[in-house]
Amino acid sequence: MFTGITVDRGRVATVEARGDTYLTIETRLDPRDLADGASVACSGCCLTVIASGPGWFRVSASAETLACTTLARWQPGTEVNLEPALRLGDTLGGHIVSGHVDGLATLRSAVPEGDSVRMRFAVPQELARFVAPKGSVALDGVSLTVNRVDGAEFEVNIIPHTLAVTTLGRAHSGDPLNFEIDTIARYVARLLGKDAA
């Protein structure tokens, strides 16, 4: 479980396709968070550490993960938002994030608004109904508050700090981002008999 408050912007060092795809990621994360078997949210995808060393860790991604996320596009040099798994007693600064990506959101526009940037995203129609004004979403692992919803599109306001410390400040119109709906919305839909995709 995660909070959507990323703590490092890592960088993909190597990508090896052999059966599954193996990625080595350079990081400044605390080595205690990178023990074998530990979970790390990598731009919103919960991945399991299979090896680590000073300043790096390795994960594997299945064909299913590559098909449902942006990981298939990652290459050496790709920057990745990183968050270690939540520990009991940690501050829940964002919202409850599982690291299970629901689909891709496409950046439609990014318009400066004061010192911040208002970003507009489009999501698949089957996921749009889980997005609500003032509700939470995770985009590339970053917890964000929805400002406005218009059909299958929604807007979020990105403050300067978030633009500086995550990959969101480098996103361009047309870019896909890993998108996770709010966990509470998922369970409400289940209770109402309207399962999430």
Q: Could you tell me if 41 and 113 lie in one domain?
A: no
Q: Could you tell me if 21 and 59 lie in one domain?
A: yes
- Least Cα distance to 82 among 18, 146, 3 occurs for 3
**What is the per-residue burial (b if ≥16 Cβ within 10 Å, else e) of 167-181?**
bbeebeeebbbbbbb
In a domain, 97, yes or no: no
Structure token digits, residue 9: 């912007």
Q: What is the pLDDT of residue 195?
A: 62
What is the enclosing helix (H) or strand (E) of 67?
A: helix 63-68
Q: Could you tell me if 58 and 111 lie in one domain?
A: no
How large is the greatest C-alpha to C-alpha distance in the chain, in angstroms?
Answer: 48
Distance CA 101, CA 66 (A): 11
Q: For the ranges 38-42, 49-53, 84-88, 170-174, which has the lowest average pLDDT?
A: 84-88
Q: Which residues contact 106 (CB under 8 A, 6 or more apart)?
A: 121, 122, 123, 174, 175, 176, 177
Q: Could you tell me if 80 and 107 lie in one domain?
A: no
The pLDDT tens digits of the residues spanning 165-197 come to 999 999 999 999 999 998 887 778 778 876 655
Whether 96 shows a pLDDT value over 90: the answer reads no
Q: Which residues contact 92 (CB under 8 A, 6 or more apart)?
A: 3, 86
Instruction: Give 40's pLDDT tier (boundaries 50, 70, 90).
Output: very high
Q: Model pTM?
A: 0.92
Q: Could you tell me if 63 and 140 lie in one domain?
A: no
In a domain, 38, yes or no: yes
